Amino acid sequence: MEAIGKLREDIQKELEDVEFIIGWEQGFDALHATPLFIRSQEDIDRLIWNPLCVHNLASYLPQLKGRKVGVLLKGCDSRSVIQLLQEGLIQREEIVIFGISCPGVVDLSKIRARMNVSQVKRVSFAEGNVTIETPQGREEFPLDEVLATKCLSCQYPTPLIYDHLAGEALSPQRPADLLYKEVEEIEKLDVKERLAHWERELNRCIRCYACRNACPLCVCQDYCAADSRNPHWLSQRAGIGEKVMWHIMHALHVAGRCTDCGECERACPMDIPIQRIRKKINKEIKALFDYEAGVNTEDTPPLYTFQMEESTIREKDW
């Protein structure tokens, strides 16, 4: 059975026992999917599953704590749920997880860079290609060329936690050594060049906080330090100092917690590659604590603990 058929069947079975189930439906045009809150059979009929289903729906869960809901999760999204469970920000018994084996999702900015997508009529996926029809004609290109960067090094195409699984479990088919490729390119620069690189990138930031709002692990919400007036950590000025300060603040608040889902970067209207900053910290956390966020519900995140002697840090050798 196709994954979408299995999903619909499983959702139907669980619908009575939950308030709603979060999935995706067709968005305002053929190129966009949007989150769907399923409460009825008619809603189930609107459900879609294809490489346009980019959103990490786990982002909704912390604010729904205390209510029983269902959620559809790709492999990368399932890591957010594991991390949220580890931190006690959600309760396992309150969530029904519909896992989906995932071959990858598109990066719409890569499609926009190739063609005018202002009036898309139809999008189809077949044999590793994507075909996009507009009033001007039809373009077909390999899906790999427009996949989200995270998918090109995906190590968890099958969700790590689920109650129901749609699609055949997939083994990782992407090379793990690509995981930190972009980080390593920046690491090759000397300190001055690195600073110039980030000042150039971050100068485009308009501090809209879409990156924060899309992040499943950014849970302070209305109490975010970026919005606080007492103490007033961040001024209203739009200088590079405030922009850099905001990004350091955000990156450090998800240090050891970031599950690499890429939502921060996907949501950014200024196409700033901020996931690289998180990836750099993830790389350091892996080296220091041998820890990868969101892969094991039994783990305790390293920054949630304190030990006089960390087994992986040999301070006396410094």
Cα–Cα dist 203/246, whole Å: 12
Tell whether residue 90 is a contact of ligand SF4 (CB under 6 A). no
Residue closest to 146 by CA, chosen among 118, 109, 171, 102: 109
Does 150 help bind ligand SF4 (rule: CB under 6 A)? yes
Q: Does 278 bind ligand SF4 (CB under 6 A)?
A: yes
Does 261 engage in binding with ligand SF4 (CB under 6 A)? yes
With vertex at residue 219, the alpha carbon angle to CA 213 and CA 224, rounded to the nearest 5 degrees, is: 75
Residue 8 vs 150, nearer CB to ligand SF4: 150
* Contact flag: residue 104 with ligand SF4 (CB under 6 A): yes
Q: Are 278 and 264 in contact (CB under 8 A)?
A: yes
**Contact region with ligand SF4 (CB under 6 A), list: 16-24, 120-128, 271-279, 301-309:** 271-279
If one asks whether residue 141 binds ligand SF4 (CB under 6 A), the answer comes out as no
Q: Please report where in the chains the tokens 């739009």 appear, as a residue.
A: 238
Q: Are 278 and 258 in contact, with CB atoms under 8 Å apart?
A: yes
Site track 46-85 with ligand SF4 (rule: CB under 6 A), x = hit: ----------------------------xxx---------
Q: Which long-range contacts (CB under 8 A, 24 or more apart) does 7-10 make?
A: 7/47, 7/49, 7/72, 7/98, 7/100, 7/164, 7/166, 8/44, 8/47, 10/98, 10/164, 10/166
Judged by CB under 6 A, which of 61, 96, 143, 154 binds ligand SF4? 154
Nearer to ligand SF4, 262 or 302 (CB): 262
Query: 231 preceded by cis ω (within 30°)?
Result: yes
Q: Which residue has the tokens 């969101």?
A: 294
Q: Does residue 166 interact with ligand SF4 by CB under 6 A?
A: no
Neighbours of 235 (CB within 10 A): 10
**Count of Cβ atoms closer than 10 Å to residue 83 Cβ:** 26
Question: Of 47 and 102, which has the nearer Cβ to ligand SF4?
Answer: 102
Residue 207 Cβ vs ligand SF4, minimum distance, rounded to whole Å:
5
Contact string 238-257 vs ligand SF4 (x = CB under 6 A): ----------------x---
Query: Are 286 and 256 a contacting pair, CB within 8 Å?
Result: no
| Token duo for residue 122 | 């139809």
Residues 115, 178, 210, 245: which binds ligand SF4 (CB under 6 A)?
210
276 is an interface residue for ligand SF4 by CB under 6 A = no
Whether 121 contacts 134, CB under 8 Å: yes
Instruction: Choose one: 4-12, 133-141, 146-154, 227-235; the region binding ligand SF4 (CB under 6 A).
Output: 146-154
> Using CB under 6 A, which of 1, 206, 288, 303 touches ligand SF4?
206
* Number of residues counted as binding ligand SF4 (CB under 6 A): 39
Near ligand SF4 by CB under 6 A: residue from 18, 31, 272, 281: 272
**Footprint of ligand SF4 (CB under 6 A):** 74-76, 102, 104-105, 148, 150-151, 154, 156-157, 205-211, 214-217, 254, 258-264, 267-270, 272, 274-275, 278
